[in-house]
Amino acid sequence: MANEVRQHQRGAAMTAGGSTGPGHMLRLIRSGEAVTRRELQEVLGLSRSTVVHRLDVLLDAGWVKESGVESSTGGRPPTRLEFDEGHAVVLTADLDTTHARAAVLDLGGRPLAESTAALRVADGPVPVLDRVAEWFRTLLAEAGRGADEVCGIGLSVPGPIDFPSGRPVLPPIMPGWDAFPIREHLRQHFDVDVLVDNDANLMALGEHAAGYPDCPTFALVKVSTGIGAGAIVGGSVLRGIDGGEGDIGHIRMNGADADAALCQCGGYGCLAALASGGALARALTELGVPTASGSGVREHLRAGQPDAVRLSRAAGQRVGEVLTTVVSLLNPGVLMIAGDLAEPNFVTGMREVLYKRALPRITRHLDVVTGLLGEHAGLRGAGHLVVDHLYAPAQADARLRKGAGA
């Protein structure tokens, strides 16, 4: 009889909606706003028995664990509660034009296994995604985790994404990917939630969480084979109608050189055709310095190759023209430059134009920085996206109800 009563109470806890269900309690614990039973009572205004019943749901699911005690002003010290970041894993992959990275992360974003290998996004969605799924299986074995421990997959791609559907939208450097059902294809390999987003968005999400979580408006510009931007406003990724937000690489520029610059999108004069890593690679090759891609430009810059240094600074100036508008529109606290050209010469050229053309009021509190996470930013951002989605209050309550039914 006692067990039946206990099961009934837990069922009631899981069906409780609104702002006091188990999912909302989990949010409070994850954020540190309430980390003991008494604090949960005080914040939620619930009785002790109700808090205990709903907290038992989280404890039994393995999502929350008890970890030591808090300091006490008298009486028995309260037990501290925390989100168990090891109870499941997230699979993440970051696709670039000629290579890709994949990782198994715990729920705190720490890599348990990771690999990088050549993989051409131009080979098309089916062979690329099937290869990524193979990597995931290998990495799970390396991490000593099973497929049944995977709670979700996060994928970063170098092109515009319609976020609600997870499908690419006319991606210029991803032939054959337009409108491809990425989520549905990956779910044939792993039957879990799959979230897909643009690489710049996920890099912005990862870098913001890692180094600037208190910055209310954060902008990141990735300059590699192409050029794209991502912005975090009020803690959330800024998204447009169908994935076109941040696609600054296809803003048309003025000048004789722009009129002759053919972009991969088919147009002339795009910023990416003039100032991306791919554009600099072509310019260096024409000058007798063979360079295959943006990563090759990066290697020349590290070696101090004079033409690469000159072209990088000029590219920074071109990008600065566009970023003047971006900064004036968003008024961010941090502007981060990431990707192959995130180096001093490019940043110097960009700053020269940006600070000359933007109002001092717009830039007086602006920090222009380069990335903290390097090549791991996209993976971290993808993991962060999945965890925030799966453990948000409404989604967490739905998953708990589904688990209870099973």
Q: Look at 15-24, 26-35, 59-68, 273-282 and tell me which has the smallest mean pLDDT.
A: 15-24
Question: Is residue 402, in this structure, part of any structural domain at all?
Answer: no
Mean pLDDT of the region 255-282 = 93
Count how many residues are written for the chain: 406
**Residue 5: pLDDT above 50?**
no
Please report the pLDDT score of residue 404 as a whole number: 45
Tell me: pLDDT of 8 over 90: no
Instruction: Outline where 163-305 has alpha helix (H).
Output: 182-187, 199-211, 256-259, 271-275, 277-286, 294-302
Same domain, 73 and 124: no
305 and 317 co-located in one domain? yes
Q: How confident is the model at residue 70 (pLDDT cuts 50, 70, 90)?
A: low
Residue-wise pLDDT for 183-216, tens only, equals: 999 999 999 999 999 999 999 999 999 999 999 9
Closest CA to 382 of 178, 261, 169, 230: 230
Please state the φ and ψ torsions of residue 373, each to the nearest 5 degrees.
-95, -10
Q: Please name the residues in contact with 135: beta carbons below 8 A apart, sequence gap of 6 or more.
A: 93, 102, 115, 117
C-alpha pair distances (Å), 316 with each of 69, 85, 265, 369 = 52, 40, 21, 14
Distance, CA of 129 to CA of 182 (rounded, Å)? 8
Q: How many helices and strands, by DSSP H and E, does the chain display?
A: 16, 14
Quick one: 356 and 234 in the same domain?
yes
pLDDT score, position 255: 87
Which of 7-16, 64-73, 238-247, 363-372 bottoms out in mean pLDDT, i.e. has the lowest?
Answer: 7-16
End-to-end CA distance of the chain: 22
pLDDT at 72: 57
Supply angle C-alpha 111, 96, 263, rounded to 5: 155
Residue 398: inside a domain, yes or no?
no
Mean pLDDT of all residues in 288-316: 96
User: Which residues constitute the domain of residue 118?
Assistant: 89-204+378-390
| Alpha-carbon distances, residue 320 vs 64, 207, 312, 332, 372 (angstroms) | 46, 21, 12, 15, 21
Residues 144 and 166 reside in one and the same domain: yes
DSSP-based helix, strand, coil % in the chain, nearest 5: 50, 20, 30
pLDDT digit string (tens) for 308-331? 999 999 999 999 999 999 999 999
CATH number of the domain within which 35 lies: 1.10.10.10
Q: Are residues 307 and 323 in the same domain?
A: yes
Sign of CA pseudo-dihedral 307, 308, 309, 311: positive
- Pair (96, 40) in one structural domain: no
pLDDT for 406 beyond 70: no
Report if residue 397 sits inside a domain. Answer: no
Q: Which of 49, 84, 119 is the last residue of a domain?
A: 84
Looking at residue 153, which CATH number applies to its domain?
3.30.420.40
pLDDT tens digits, residue range 344-402?
Answer: 999 999 999 999 999 999 999 999 999 999 999 999 999 999 999 999 999 999 999 98
- Same-domain pairing of 254 and 367: yes
Same domain, 25 and 78: yes
Point out which residues pair with 268 in neighbouring strands: 262
Which one of 28, 54, 84 terminates a domain? 84
Band (242; pLDDT cuts 50, 70, 90): confident
Same domain for 219 and 322? yes
In a domain, 259, yes or no: yes
Single residue among 65, 84, 103 that ends a domain in this structure: 84
Q: Tell me what the pLDDT averaged over the chain comes to.
A: 92
Structural domains of the chain, count: 3
In this predicted structure, what is the pLDDT of residue 78? Answer: 85
pLDDT at 114 > cutoff 90 = yes
Q: Are residues 56 and 20 in the same domain?
A: yes
Within a domain: 308: yes
Kindly provide the residue ranges of all beta strands, DSSP E only, lying in 61-184, ordered along the sequence: 64-69, 79-83, 89-95, 99-106, 111-118, 150-157, 161-162, 167-168
Q: Across residues 24-36, what is the average pLDDT?
A: 95
pLDDT at 24: 95
Domain co-membership, 221 together with 364: yes
Asked if 48 and 135 sit in the same domain, the reply is: no
Given this model, what pLDDT does residue 2 score?
Answer: 41
Q: Tell me whether residue 68 is in a domain.
A: yes
